[in-house]
Structure 1
């Protein structure tokens, strides 16, 4: 395997060459000072000794300046030594000759030394600045890549980690840039305090830090402690005027990559640590992840799915199908659940199981929700207007979407744009919508209910909603998940459970619908237990818009 020479090694080689060149010139100047010959023949030209001395002195000065630029620390020391030696040589020439004719040879090294020291201080400052993050004072991305290359060149095992402060943008938006800078500084102090001398901390960009761990250090053990949520006091102006001081919780997500197991160059290692970080950020269980090949394959699939979603939204590959819902007592049409499908230009159908999970892992799910809401309302608005019936159009909304502050206002804007009757719109949410942003979710639900929009709790029985939460939810419809219906006709325990769910729904002043009903035996059991509505292949599969209109006719 061919070894790549690092920038540090190249600098050392250049420094040595310049130093050798300077010494050769210096030896030449010294010999000229000792020689009695006044005229030298060089390439056919006659040059006085002093001219040749001046030329060699200029070359020496040039090499010394180059040494400072090659490496401001080692180079300045080598240059200072050479110039100081030249000064001694010129001074001794004055004493030997008992004449001031060699005085320019003394002044020249002094001027050179002063110039070298000035250049050294300015170049040192600019070099340090170029390697330093201005906010935290840590080494920056440029220095990180250099040190990473040096570690790889040494061919010793080590690990790198990418860390990101969670929700940093939100903190920046709420409290301002100054508080954001303060948080970055405090996080840098906390991380640096815990690191050993053999481990290096860097600030890369935004709220992202990296650490290069020595091979003997256990990166996972250190990061497990480092990423735990911590309370940070915030230096807010309003708080200074009172005794109450606000704090915020700061936590990290972290991804780890190992050399040489996960990569043999800087780009590979950094990319794979970043892949592990992306997975850690999305994980609801652990915010610490070490790279594996499976993660990279999942990341590739995620990117491919996201590209397909964007392409489908731009080129109208998406379309809607509608599954009818019926009253169980007399098989009267209640309305339709709206389902999204994707069809490529070659005619192939892409399963929602391939693109919906990918959309939920990104903000693309918000665009899909808006697409379905707007298209379903536009399609059914004239149908409902012509028929004069209050059929329900039920639309699924992601937990991420309904937990956003502006969700209800966006739905109201689409209703106004399409002129769709709010009493015919039903928003379906899942139990997972209540796991996070519960207060915001309930606020959005109440806002929509005030204009007549109905709310359904979908997939009931598969989440972790407590009875107390359910009793306080402002919903209209409870949907029993298909997994509870599958064996209802043969399993008495399941029948009792479904009966309890239906009873609880009615206590909550909700109507109850069973999903995934596939045969008449299930219909009979649900009817006996006073379920209100059914949805499933037994009475109607998902159909196109035109076929859905035929159901109404």
Structure 2
């Protein structure tokens, strides 16, 4: 009986009650007595029949409220049987005594039809997405929960239309709606009659596959780059859009436990979908338990970041930067650390990647900017040296449209001199939204803020693009420095990077310098600055403040 849902149990109980009432109504109609006795109380038989007819009408309504499709069929069937029986009784007895019951049944039939019609229209409206004419998220939850409760096997595919937000931003919402509609039509071509599609969010669709042909094989025919011609708003021009899809698959089979819900299955599918973003083609990924562990770690890391921001677990350390020739202090790179209440230190490696996969990284960036500028503002007022405070900025922050206004607000609140601030970005920043990122960089330079390109030599941004950017500093990645003592080819690469930086009118700093031999080679190749353990490890603010007052550091 475990495969019977609670809704079906309610339908069975109401149906049995209906037949009991019908049997009692039929039995009372077969007796000729005009009255029946309950103790000293004499009640007309017609009153009893009216009560039973009223209860039957209520049962019909409860049936349709329980399940407007199945309940309607059961209620209508019972009503028709009762009506036919009353009509037969009237004909055989040549009496119209049962006429009130006939009227009641006819009214019940009209009521059932009215409620059914209302529910049909309401169901279409509440369960259907306006753009794709497929099911919406409410419909998805209903269908999946019914499959789980009934212990049915199924497969869920979660499909994302990539770059959808960019399309909406550039071409408008109507173009985005047209794309998602055409994409849904394309996916519909691979579905069987029993399969169902749902639009979960703006750019994401879910498909419920019933057992049958491999969903993975069917999806391969649609998960590929395609171009769609979209009519413009004015109707005079056409827009060619490239459509890229990715799909995360979850195979669900009985037995199910209490943790399986529509939301948990969708979350697993979304985890698999996220893994497809690293695939070159046929972006289909099947969920497995290892992914679930990764997803749980992601949520744990996000929770840690939220707690750290609220309860101030985060603090900053500063790694000094020096001129290569004479070891003069250039400034400090700001690094974030996390100390939990039990005094254990959480490495940035554990929470920064998770924060970068969510919007929490922007809150971390704001915290670092606010804290570093607040701490160093008094130091810079009394410092005769030209100290630079360098702060790493994530790709999401640099590509956000409101970043300049947020930074300007922090500068005004802290009264920090913008010419003493340097923001470090990576080449990956240009992959988020190149237009917005480049615009933000130019606005930052107009404010007087310096720009450093971090991890230079490991990215894929074109040299032509880099040449057009107002960058002050190039940072050579540590991975290029590690082998310069033993590898002539690596020394040549580093020499080329330094030369390229100078051609771009940038100063060059090498990070991760740990040995005197590495330092000598960088000095020989005219690298302007260095940072690393060879001359200075990350230190707390008090030590950094004291270092600012030093005049000599010795070589």
Structure 1 pair 114–205 and aligned structure 2 pair: CA distance change class (3 A): farther
Q: In structure 2, what is the Cα distance between the partners aligned to 1:18 and 1:517? A: 84
State the match for 1:82 in structure 2: 81
**Native 8 Å contact 1:21 1:63 kept in 2:** no
**Post-superposition shift, 1:479?**
1.0
**Post-superposition shift, 1:28?**
1.3
Q: Secondary structure at the match of 2:74?
A: helix
State the match for 2:552 in structure 1: none
**Post-superposition shift, 1:534?**
1.1
**Native 8 Å contact 1:489 1:521 kept in 2:** yes
**Post-superposition shift, 1:360?**
0.7
**Post-superposition shift, 1:543?**
0.9
2:9 is the alignment partner of 1:13: no
2:299 is the alignment partner of 1:299: no
> Mean alpha-carbon deviation: is it higher for 125-134 or for 268-277?
125-134
**Native 8 Å contact 1:395 1:428 kept in 2:** yes
Q: Write out aligned runs for 1:147-226 (5 A).
A: 147-152=143-148, 155-163=151-159, 188-203=184-199, 209-226=205-222
Structure 1 pair 257–43 and aligned structure 2 pair: CA distance change class (3 A): farther
**Native 8 Å contact 1:232 1:247 kept in 2:** yes
Structure 1 pair 44–210 and aligned structure 2 pair: CA distance change class (3 A): farther
**Native 8 Å contact 2:455 2:477 kept in 1:** yes
2:132 is the alignment partner of 1:133: no
| Match among 385, 391, 400 for residue 404 of structure 1 | 400
2:466 is the alignment partner of 1:470: yes
Q: In structure 2, what is the Cα distance between the partners aligned to 1:280 and 1:73? A: 40
Q: C-alpha deviations, 1:209-230, integer Å up to 9, x for none?
A: 4322111132233444555566
Q: C-alpha deviations, 1:439-492, integer Å up to 9, x for none?
A: 222221121122322211111122222333333332111111111111211211
Q: C-alpha deviations, 1:109-139, integer Å up to 9, x for none?
A: 1441243233333234225524643543544
Structure 1 pair 550–5 and aligned structure 2 pair: CA distance change class (3 A): same
Q: In structure 1, what is the Cα distance between the partners aligned to 2:336 and 2:48? A: 86
State the match for 2:478 in structure 1: 482
Structure 1 pair 217–311 and aligned structure 2 pair: CA distance change class (3 A): same
**Native 8 Å contact 1:199 1:212 kept in 2:** yes
TM-score (norm 2): 0.86
> Mean alpha-carbon deviation: is it higher for 376-385 or for 260-269?
260-269
State the match for 1:328 in structure 2: 324
Q: In structure 2, what is the Cα distance between the partners aligned to 1:65 and 1:345? A: 59
Q: Write out aligned runs for 1:349-428 (5 A).
A: 349-428=345-424
**Post-superposition shift, 1:386?**
0.8
Q: In structure 2, what is the Cα distance between the partners aligned to 1:546 and 1:332? A: 19
**Native 8 Å contact 1:67 1:78 kept in 2:** no
State the match for 1:284 in structure 2: 277
**Native 8 Å contact 2:127 2:138 kept in 1:** no
Structure 1 pair 43–174 and aligned structure 2 pair: CA distance change class (3 A): farther
> Mean alpha-carbon deviation: is it higher for 400-409 or for 343-352?
400-409
Structure 1 pair 433–17 and aligned structure 2 pair: CA distance change class (3 A): same
Q: Write out aligned runs for 1:115-126 (5 A).
A: 115-126=108-119
Q: Secondary structure at the match of 2:96?
A: helix
Q: In structure 1, what is the Cα distance between the partners aligned to 2:97 and 2:138? A: 43
Q: In structure 2, what is the Cα distance between the partners aligned to 1:343 and 1:68? A: 59
Q: In structure 1, what is the Cα distance between the partners aligned to 2:245 and 2:122? A: 27
Q: In structure 1, what is the Cα distance between the partners aligned to 2:127 and 2:60? A: 30
Q: Write out aligned runs for 1:329-348 (5 A).
A: 329-348=325-344
**Post-superposition shift, 1:195?**
2.0
Q: Write out aligned runs for 1:427-446 (5 A).
A: 427-446=423-442
Q: In structure 1, what is the Cα distance between the partners aligned to 2:200 and 2:439? A: 39
Aligned residues: 540
State the match for 1:534 in structure 2: 530
State the match for 2:306 in structure 1: 310
Q: C-alpha deviations, 1:248-271, integer Å up to 9, x for none?
A: 666655433222279456844641
**Post-superposition shift, 1:93?**
3.1
Q: In structure 1, what is the Cα distance between the partners aligned to 2:184 and 2:5? A: 28
State the match for 2:251 in structure 1: 258
TM-score (norm 1): 0.86
Q: Secondary structure at the match of 1:325?
A: strand
**Native 8 Å contact 1:8 1:150 kept in 2:** no
What stretches of structure 1 of length at least 5 have no aligned partner?
96-101
Q: In structure 1, what is the Cα distance between the partners aligned to 2:128 and 2:537? A: 62
State the match for 2:553 in structure 1: none
Q: In structure 1, what is the Cα distance between the partners aligned to 2:241 and 2:99? A: 65
What stretches of structure 2 of length at least 5 have no aligned partner?
550-555
> Mean alpha-carbon deviation: is it higher for 50-59 or for 17-26?
50-59
Q: Secondary structure at the match of 2:110?
A: helix
**Post-superposition shift, 1:39?**
5.6
CA RMSD of aligned residues (A): 3.3
**Post-superposition shift, 1:354?**
0.8
**Native 8 Å contact 1:234 1:248 kept in 2:** yes
Q: In structure 2, what is the Cα distance between the partners aligned to 1:276 and 1:550? A: 53
Q: Secondary structure at the match of 1:103?
A: coil
Structure 1 pair 354–52 and aligned structure 2 pair: CA distance change class (3 A): closer
Structure 1 pair 452–390 and aligned structure 2 pair: CA distance change class (3 A): same
Q: C-alpha deviations, 1:188-226, integer Å up to 9, x for none?
A: 555445421021223456665432211113223344455
**Native 8 Å contact 1:160 1:258 kept in 2:** yes
**Native 8 Å contact 1:336 1:394 kept in 2:** yes
**Post-superposition shift, 1:392?**
1.3
Structure 1 pair 161–15 and aligned structure 2 pair: CA distance change class (3 A): farther
